[in-house]
Amino acid sequence: MPAKTEIQRQALGLPARERLALIAELRDSLTPEDIPVPAWQRELIRDRLGELDGLDPRERSTPWDLARKDLFPTGK
């Protein structure tokens, strides 16, 4: 198996389109268990999900037409 630096050198020598395809392939090869999530992020997610628990489903989200107006106020 080639050394990591050799693989990096070869990858960096690829055209941009092929490097992007390689990035996507590498990303897709990962499972959730492969990606470490720090305890503080898990706690933050747990807290935010807890805040949603008491809300009426209509309060949990924003209809797209209203979100679009907030995101794109010029109407584009």
What CA–CA distance (Å, rounded) separates 65 from 71? Answer: 10
Q: Which amino acid is at 72?
A: F
29-52 pLDDT, tens digit per residue, is: 999 999 999 999 999 999 999 988
What percentage of the chain reaches a pLDDT higher than 90? 62
What CA–CA distance (Å, rounded) separates 52 from 31? Answer: 27
Q: What is the pTM of this model?
A: 0.51
* Domain boundaries, given as residue ranges, for the chain: 4-71
